[in-house]
Amino acid sequence: MHDCLGWPARELVARLARRELRAQDVAQAFIERVHEREPQVLAWQHFDAAQVLAQARALDEAPQAGALHGLPIGVKDLMDTCDMPTTYGSPIYAGHRPPVDAGCVAMARSAGALVMGKTVTTEFATFQPGPTRNPRAPLDAPRTPGGSSSGSAAAVAAGMVPVAFGTQTAGSIVRPAAYCGVVGYKPTHGTLPLAGIKPLSPSLDTVGAIARTVDDAAFLVGTLAGLPLAPQPIGRLRIGLCRTPHGDRAGDDTRRALQQAADVLARGGARVAEVILPDTFASLNAAQVDIMGHEAAAAFAPELRTDSHLFSPAFAAVLASGRQVDGMRFFAAQAQARAARHALDAVFTQVDILLAPSTEGIAPAGLEATGDPVFNRMWSLLGNPCVHVPVGTGAHGMPVGVTLVAPAYHDAQALSAAHALERTLA
């Protein structure tokens, strides 16, 4: 049964639907992988093998539940679950038991997904790390898995689930996916519902997926969103090599990964040309910080009144900074973002896909911080679909990769280009 650990998500679900194997057997195989890897990785905030098997048994005893029948998934501990504790990465919510599932979790269960447990998130999806270790790094030289979807990226990279939910407000899907060497898919903003997910910045918060492959991520999100996201063969794409206004922050490993991806796509028939974004884009990261901080200060006003002594210094600093952003400055940042979206639409009349850095380089050493989202903030602000694809390894054998960006609502285009890059690299 351990063969099923490596099957593509669509194949696994198809075999389960045909009753070629039982959901209980699949669940047991992944449970054994969790028992094997979890002591070193610490990806799970909540994992109960008996609870997983009970879900699998119910799936086996009922008619096929839906398009995700029996697919094991991880759920970021920022998302409410009615049958598992949800802590949002904070001691304030230790043992918290929501009465209902988050919208995306309920949709996944209705489609037959098997919830393996709750994956570790940083505190309220910001910058205070949890205990999770990067499974690609040696135990005696630990490295961050990134954040805030730390546990989801680490669980997928360690083979404990094929796919897991993540959320991104600044860089919380793409960055951990990059550091852990897996695929990260941040859909167009608003593609999946935010109901039942602890808000940080509603105009930026985005639900997406971290997965072993581009198609696994497309399968989960496409099923839930009712979108035809299965990657398709692509014609001669126009690729814009976009180093972003922060290109000087890219280290040698990232520069090599970006050039390698451009070369691979060019050999596959794409036309690759440098794209220089308008000068005004240089201040978009600052606009993202202002919007996130302003909205976070409002979202956490209740906890600030009653439990601020339980905030980490890092989270307290986020809120303190956000409280300095008044309404006029917030409106100005939103107006700047709106103007930049129009400018980016014009860029996309010249190219089909932008190819950009995902991170400054490999995962930083140590577990005290989760890395800098310098290459992710802008895309989160603009709301475009982004797919991180691993390209290879850099220093110390750690993963590096690139981000493919498409016009808003053209997620299928981003996924198809990412799939073509992934297949060619393989």
| Separation between Cα atoms, residue 353 and residue 417, nearest integer Å | 8
Is 312 labeled as catalytic in the residue annotation? no
| Separation between Cα atoms, residue 49 and residue 165, nearest integer Å | 19
| Separation between Cα atoms, residue 424 and residue 74, nearest integer Å | 28
Q: Phi and psi at residue 356, in whole multiples of 5°?
A: -135, 165
Q: Using DSSP, state whether 399 is helix, strand or coil.
A: strand
Per the CB < 8 A criterion, the answer to whether 46 and 119 are in contact is no
- How many residues belong to the chain? 426
Count of other CB atoms within 10 angstroms of residue 243: 20
Is 321 labeled as catalytic in the residue annotation? no
How far does Cα 110 stand from its chain's mean position? 22
Q: ω into residue 148 within 30 of 0, thus cis?
A: yes
Nearest 5°: CA angle at 12, between 7 and 18?
Answer: 140
Instruction: Return the closest-CA partner of residue 211 out of 4, 353, 388.
Output: 388
Position 34: which residue type? V
Is 203 labeled as catalytic in the residue annotation? no
Residue in 90, 148, 312, 416 annotated catalytic: 148
The pair of structure tokens assigned to 363 is: 């995962």
Cross-strand partners of 356? 403
| Separation between Cα atoms, residue 151 and residue 295, nearest integer Å | 25
Residue in 150, 172, 380, 416 annotated catalytic: 172
Per the CB < 8 A criterion, the answer to whether 169 and 292 are in contact is yes
Catalytic residues: 76, 148, 172
